[in-house]
Structures are given as C-alpha cells and as structure tokens.
Structure 1
Amino acid sequence: MVNLFLTEVLKLKRSSMFLISILGAAVAPFVVVIATYLNEPSILFKELFYNVNLYTVLIIGVPLYGVVTTYLFNREYMENTLKNIFSIPVSRIGFIVSKMLLLFIWIMMLTLIAWTLTLVLGMLTQFDGLSISLVMESLSQFSIGGMFLFILSTPIILVTLVMKNYVPTIIFTVVITLINVMGGNSEHRALFPWAAAGDIANNTLPLTYPPEYSYIAITATALAGFIAMIVYFNKTDIH
C-alpha cells in the first residue's frame, strides 16, 4: 500500500489540480477578510476566524473537496488505466485506502492553508484580539472542520465510483452546499451531517437536539458511504 500511496503522490506532482485546489482554498480567507475589513473593520480576530471557518466548511469546502475527491478517484477511469493497475495485481482495498490517505492529507493541507491565510491577512489588515490561545483554538477548529469533511467524503467517493464522471459529483456537492445554506438558521440543521460538522467545528451546535444526534448522523452517513463504496468497488467489473 505504501507503493500505491507513493504512486498517487507522483501522479499528483505532474498535475495542475493541486495548484488549482490551493487557489480554491484561498477564496474564503481572501473574500471574508477583505469584505470584513471594508465593511466591519472593528470586528475581532475571533469572529474573523469563525466566519472563514464557517464559509470553508459549509460553502467552499464541500464542492472544492468534492472536486479533489473526484479527481483522485476518477482519474484512472478517465485515462482508462484502471484495468492495467489491477493486472499487476493490486489489492482493491489497498487501492481505495491509498487514495483516501492522500485525500485526507490533501484536505488537511488545504484547511491549513485557509487558516494560515486568515491569520496572515488578518494581521496585515490589523484586526484586534489576536492571542496565542486564539491561534491554537482557531487552528483546532479549522482542523476539526477539515477532518469532518474528510470523514463525510465517503458518499462523494461512492457517487464518483458509480457514475465515473465529474458532473454527478459536482451536482451532488452543490446540492449539499445549498442545503447547508438554506438550513443555516434552522434549529434542525444539527441533523444534517455536513451542517452539523460546521457547527461542531465552531462550537455552535443548536440546543434543539442532544449533541450525540449530530455525531450519530455524521458517523452513520460516513460509515454507510464507506461500506457501500467498498462493496461496490470490490464487486464491479473493471473494463
């Protein structure tokens, strides 16, 4: 599996997708910081971190990481090289796990980039309220959001493996984002896994339901997606 992971890294080095994803991750920090600086310059650094993380997890992150996920899991289908890989032979489980490991590292790296840009841009625009404790707290919140989005990537991977195309996955992630936006003020949003992930990361879970309900919704969604994608990928014929 180590060789599979290294192979995935080498393939990524030859692609422009990584640079494109970095530009995508920079959207939320730039937009939020600049817009806040122009409209609400008196806001504190803590709210700045909160707003960027909120936009990253609920709006930018799902479609951006969805495109990254589709790129990783659809590339061999698009290039018609999957049958050659499995003629070596290569374990299908190992193949999936190696891609998921790279996806986790990729998502966390983009999350760290978003957090770093928020910190740097906030300092350059001289927002007040920055402290060591806030830096550590915000880094933790961004990291939790990134980890939840990775955990919730399994249904997106399943859609990619079944449809073998970018379009259905993009539509799926856009629908998730729209639900996040429409349910932003709903007291029931904690039951929707992706919205719950944003609330958990920012410590803003509504009190309508016990927190356990949100964790159960996230776990059930992620586990169901993982089991379904493993079963499908193991049983499907590779042409």
Structure 2
Amino acid sequence: MNKLIVSFSVERKKFFRSKIPFITACALLLVPFIGGLFMFILKDPVFAQKVGIISAKAQIAGTADWPSYFGLLAQAISIGGLLVFGFITSWMFGREYSDRTIKDLLALPISRNTIVLSKFLVIVLWCFLLSIIVFIIGLIVGAWVDIPGYSKETLIHGLTTYFVCSILTILLSAPVSLFASIGRGYLSPLGFVLFTMVLAQIIAATGYGQYFPWAVPALLNGVAGNENIELINIAVFIVLFTSFIGFLGTLCWWKYADHH
C-alpha cells in the first residue's frame, strides 16, 4: 500500500506538471458554453439572427429547456469524452515510451502492477473531476442563460444520466492504455480512439449500438433516438467487460512483455 501511494504521488506530479490537465480542461469546458449558446439561440432565434449570431439560413432543431440542455451535456461527455479521456490515457502510458523513460520506470523497486494501477488512478480521478467541473459550469451557464423548465426532478434525472454516461466513458479509456503500451507511443492509441468513435456512430445508426461498447454511453442518453434501450443490462455489462479486458491486458503487457 505504501508503494502504491508513493507511485500514485509520482504519477500525479508528472501529470499535473505537464500541459495535459490545462489542455483537456479547456477542451471539455467548451461544452457547457456551446450548450448555453444553443439554448440562447433556441430561446429567441429571431433576436439571435438580428444580432448576427446565426444567419437567416441557419436551422437549429430542438427546444430551449433544462431537459434538452442536460441531454446535450450528457451527449457531449459521451462522445467528446471518448476523445478527451482517451487522449489523457494515451499520454499517461505512451509518454513513457516516447520520452524513453520506460527503462528507468521499470528499474524502480516497485512492481509493474503498482505502476499501472497508479496511472489508472490518476486517469480516473482527473477524468471524473473534469466531468464534475463541466456539470457545475453547465449549471451556472444554464442559470445565466435563464433556461426554462427547471425542477428538482429534472435536475436529479439530468445529473444521474450525465454521470452514468461519464463513468461508462471513463471506463472505456482502459483499452486505450493497452494500445498505447503495445504501440509504444501516442499514435496507436489515438488512432484507436478515432476509429472507435467513427465506428460507434456507424453501428449506432444501424441499430446495433447496444452491442458495441463505445456506442453505449451515447445511446443511454438517447442520442440515437431510442431512450429506452433494449437489453440495457447487457449493454452496460459489455462496457464493463471491455474495460476489464483493457485493464487486465495492460497489466499483463507491462508484467510479461519483453521491454527493451
């Protein structure tokens, strides 16, 4: 336990002394402001057109209310989170190979499982903290725009949906670490992230998204127009199983692979 604490402290310092926290925070914090802009336009499209925010040909579908706004936040964290959380994971593992620090790291008197676990802890904590910050900023922006339709029930439902989508999206970052380790750098995991994002949209459009783990978080939010997903328990189980395989695979790679 002491070695895990020490390893976690080291990984945390490496991470927060880099530019990755700032970059990822800026990327995700755009979400509530963009969502607030959409709600502002939908509230009064005529005024938005007069002040030049949108053109006369612009067509923005939807309604300006809190349920739609919470749905937009959950949708953004489900899709954008795949990219941002995947980027964080690819950096945490891929940098050791790109910076050629892997040989020094493996020479430390700490088990490789402890090193991998400490990296995952930093990833999960930062990604979850980002999700909390985005939601809080979202509430502030929504109140500032004065979105109608707020109620305690709407808040609880929106909060629950948002964080379920966030947690599932964070868990799907585990396979990215395996690709970063096998690919020994950044390109392979980032390519994998982009590939899964594109494939998730295609498979969701065909109606089989509940069987593809990277499409499940967005489907839970009703992005595909099916808010009552059939076989939802199986869909969540597939996400959990995929995450476990990614985590276990990363542990095995770091422990048994021939590192030069």
- What TM-score, normalized by structure 2, do the two folds share? 0.83
1:222-237 equivalent positions in 2, closer than 5 A: 222-237=243-258
1:201 deviation in Å?
5.5
Q: Aligned equivalents of 1:228 and 1:85: distance in 2? A: 19
1:27 aligns with 2:47: no
* C-alpha spacing 1:235/1:11, structure 2 compared with 1 (3 Å): same
Indicate the RMSD between aligned Cα atoms, in angstroms.
Answer: 2.2
Counterpart among 112, 119, 137 of residue 157 in structure 2:
137
Q: 1:218 is matched with which residue?
A: 239
Name the structure 1 match of 2:190.
Answer: 170
Go from structure 1 to structure 2 and tell me whether the alpha carbon gap of 1:78 and 1:228 turns closer, same or farther (over 3 Å shift).
Answer: same
Any stretches of 5+ residues in structure 2 without a counterpart? 45-62
- CA offsets, 1:170-194, max 9 Å, x none? 2211122212333444432111112
Contact 2:39 2:65 in 1 (8 A): no
**Is the Cα–Cα contact under 8 Å of residues 66 and 150 in structure 2 kept in the other structure?**
yes
Q: Which moved more, 1:199-208 or 1:115-124?
A: 199-208
Q: Does 1:46 align with 2:73?
A: no
Instruction: State whether residues 188 and 208 of structure 1, in contact with CA within 8 Å, keep that contact through their aligned partners in structure 2.
Output: no
Q: How does 1:82-231 map to 2 (within 5 A)?
A: 82-200=102-220, 209-231=230-252
Relative distance call for 1:7 and 1:201 in structure 2 (3 A) is: farther
Distance in 2, Cα, partners of 1:223 & 1:14: 29
Number of aligned residues: 238
Paired residues of 1:187 and 1:208 also in contact (CA < 8 A): no
Q: Indicate the structure (1 or 2) with the bigger Cα radius of gyration.
A: 2
1:158–1:229 Cα contact (<8 Å) kept: yes
Partner of 2:49: none
CA distance in 1, matches of 2:32, 2:95: 29
In 2, Cα distance between the equivalents of 1:175 and 1:85? 30
Instruction: Assess if the C-alpha contact under 8 Å between 1:194 and 1:218 holds in 2.
Output: yes
Could you tell me which runs of 5 or more consecutive residues in structure 1 were left unpaired when the two chains were aligned: none
Query: Measured at CA, do residues 157 and 188 of structure 1 come closer, stay the same or move farther in structure 2, by a change above 3 Å?
Result: same
Distance in 2, matches of 1:142 and 1:31, equals: 17
| C-alpha contact 2:66 2:147 (8 A) present in aligned 1 | yes
Deviates more, 1:180-189 or 1:77-86: 180-189
Q: Distance in 2 between matches of 1:51 and 1:184?
A: 18
**For the residues of structure 2 that align with 1:64 and 1:181, how far apart are their CA atoms?**
17
Aligned partners of 2:78 and 2:169 also within 8 Å: yes
Distance 1:88 1:225, change over 3 A: closer
1:67 — aligned with what?
A: 87
Could you tell me which residue of structure 2 aligns to residue 55 of structure 1? 76
| 2:39–2:147 Cα contact (<8 Å) kept | no
Aligned residues of 1:190 and 1:205 also touching (Cα < 8 A): no
Note the C-alpha offset of 1:136. Answer: 3.3
- Map Cα deviations across residues 118-161 of structure 1 (whole Å, 9 max, x no partner): 21111111101223333333222222222112221121111111
Which region of structure 1 is more displaced relative to structure 2, 63-72 or 213-222? 213-222
